[in-house]
Amino acid sequence: MRLKDKVAFITGAGGPMGEAIAIRFAEEGAKLVITDISEKRLNSTREKLLEYTVADNIVAIRASVLDYEEVKEVVEEANQTFSKIDILVNVVGGIRDTTMIRPIFEIDSDRWDNTMELNLKGTFNCTKLVAPKMIQYGYGKIVNISTIHFDGEKGYADYGAAKAGVASFTKTAAKELSPVINVNCIAPGLIQTSIVDRMDSETLEEYRKKTLLGRLGNPIDVANTALFLASDESAYITGHIIPVSGGIWPHL
């Protein structure tokens, strides 16, 4: 089992992507610390995880990763329960708007600020709180989630800019936390999550045609990549951005 005896902290575990990562890690023997801002979604993920592991291997705490003190409480609980955190997967992100695609002139300051905070602050908070213990323990893997659109895409000025920040943060963290911690970033294309529900059929079809594989991604596609980056198979990989996008490549 690729993650046997490892402890993984996964944020946004109540969403499709976070849930898929948590389940995939459980299948490979990891003990799990999972959070989500929604108690309902978090409990749903926890119930599904019980098909793959025992309750003693799961710490599930409702928390907002945007709140430093709440994250601190989660990290303290994880360390009290499991004595360590080996792996951190920063999943939380997205756009808080009924409409995903908006040109620059239609993005108000509230949406801009919310998007920056949602995609960057949680990654920063969790990394800052988890990394010191990893360094003390002498081992750590951090996996961040960016987007294939960090190189610029019409209608995603705020989201692309925020996720470009996640990609840049990944590279800086890899340098500052080396040689103990491997820090890498996944850049997904359009994945079958709630985001798809906020997009019209014409846009979705246009995106499908852009991919070499002719389909949207599934959460398991991201989960399998996260598993690789969280495992010892990626021991000589750090500071990299890995596209999971059906053949679309970002260039910045």
**Separation between Cα atoms, residue 92 and residue 70, nearest integer Å:** 15
Structure-token pair, residue 99: 């409409």
Task: Tell me 30's DSSP state.
Answer: -
Q: What is the 3-state secondary structure (H, E, C) of 86-146?
A: CEEEECCCCCCCCCCCECHHHCCHHHHHHHHHHHHHHHHHHHHHHHHHHHHHCCEEEEEEC
For helices 219-230 and 16-27, what crossing angle results, to 10°? Answer: 50
Q: Which residues are tagged catalytic?
A: 159
Structure-token pair, residue 148: 């294939």
Helix H or strand E segment including 16: helix 16-27
**Separation between Cα atoms, residue 102 and residue 136, nearest integer Å:** 44
